[in-house]
Amino acid sequence: MTVIPFSGRNKGGLSRFLLRKKINATLKEIHTANKISGLLSFWCNECAWIAKHFGDTYGIKHYCWILGQDARKENKYPQKLRPKPDELVALSDFLQDEFEKNHRIRPLHMIPPGIDTKQFQPLSGEKGIDILASGSLIALKQYDIFLQAVDEIKKQIPLVKAVLIGDGPEKKKLQGLIAKLDLQSNVTLTGELPHAKVLQWMQQSKTFLHTSSYDGFGVVCIEALHAGAHVVSFVKPMYSDIQNWQIAGNKEDMIQKTVTILNNPDTRYIRVTPFELKDSVEKMMQLFIS
């Protein structure tokens, strides 16, 4: 797949105006050479605004995939776009409801994310890590709660082994919290890792904690399930329950659910694959074909 970066760097004013012209010129060049049959925007933001106007001008079908933060009330682009329900695709049931609540438009379509199962190694049965978390070290992810949870779990499972994968602005704060809670022998901060390495860590883990306060549908959770880990999160993305994925009401509930999983000798660590990438692709393609 050809990727064309425009290096906008979030500049405003004249730079932003010129960037829009550059993107439109590139789209027109591609359309002249190949005749674009469809446009798909990731997130309902400025990119979607540009794509929708281009699509309307040239009669090209355009869909916007709502993926997370763009469903929140603070996003002003839905007011500018004024999209029709059948032009919107939500990543999850949660985002479908959230977008309707905040912008009074209910996305007609819902296509969840899928994973490419070919990227995973066969399960070895070895689970040397008790608790895993992975993502950008930002305030939204609430990894301070992850560390506090490990601290409480340590009181019941003294040799608990936890790993936090990722990098970001909260790194120093989290390193300080690890020292304050005396978790140096229990928690490993790996820093940012290649995706293939993250999947390997997942396959060695018993539980995956997703402490984010807001999440459209964490693909890492689906990856962890397929890697044979049990998932505990605060946000429930789908109406229906997903095997080996529990929803916690608060930090204490997350701690209790994790301890129960780890202490239960009958806990089975098996692959669970609720959504595959090929299914997501087929559903998206059907929108453009229909």
What's the predicted TM-score (pTM) here?
A: 0.91
What residue type is assigned to position 259 of the chain? V
Q: How far is CA 119 from CA 136, 178, 196, 218, in A?
A: 21, 32, 7, 17
pLDDT at 9 > cutoff 90: no
Distance, CA of 77 to CA of 81 (rounded, Å):
6
What residue type is assigned to position 28 of the chain? K
pLDDT band (50, 70, 90) for residue 125: confident
Q: How far is CA 55 from CA 12, 60, 62, 90, in A?
A: 24, 4, 6, 20
Distance, CA of 224 to CA of 271 (rounded, Å):
9
pLDDT at 240 > cutoff 90: yes
Tokens 């997703």 belong to: 210
Domains of the chain in start order, with CATH, are 36-112+278-289 (3.40.50), 117-263 (3.40.50.2000)
Q: Are 86 and 63 in contact (CB under 8 A)?
A: no
Helices (DSSP H) in the chain: which residue ranges? Answer: 13-34, 46-58, 77-81, 93-103, 143-156, 171-180, 195-203, 219-226, 251-263, 277-289
- β-bridge pairing 230-233 and 205-210: parallel
Distance, CA of 168 to CA of 285 (rounded, Å):
35
CB-hemisphere CA count at 13 Å for 253?
10
How much is the average pLDDT of 54-80?
95
Q: What digits encode the pLDDT tens for the residues 109-119? A: 999 999 999 99
pLDDT band (50, 70, 90) for residue 185: very high
Picking from 18, 16, 19, 65, the residue whose alpha carbon sits closest to that of residue 39 is 65
Pair of tokens at residue 100 = 């309707």
- Phi, psi (degrees; rounded to nearest 5) at 205: -105, 145
Distance, CA of 193 to CA of 206 (rounded, Å):
19
CB-hemisphere CA count at 13 Å for 264?
13
Q: What digits encode the pLDDT tens for the residues 77-97? A: 999 888 999 999 999 999 999
pLDDT band (50, 70, 90) for residue 12: confident
Q: Are 276 and 112 in contact (CB under 8 A)?
A: no
Distance, CA of 261 to CA of 241 (rounded, Å):
17
Pair of tokens at residue 1 = 């797949």
pLDDT at 143 > cutoff 90: yes
Distance, CA of 81 to CA of 49 (rounded, Å):
6
Strand partners, 39: 62
Distance, CA of 280 to CA of 110 (rounded, Å):
10
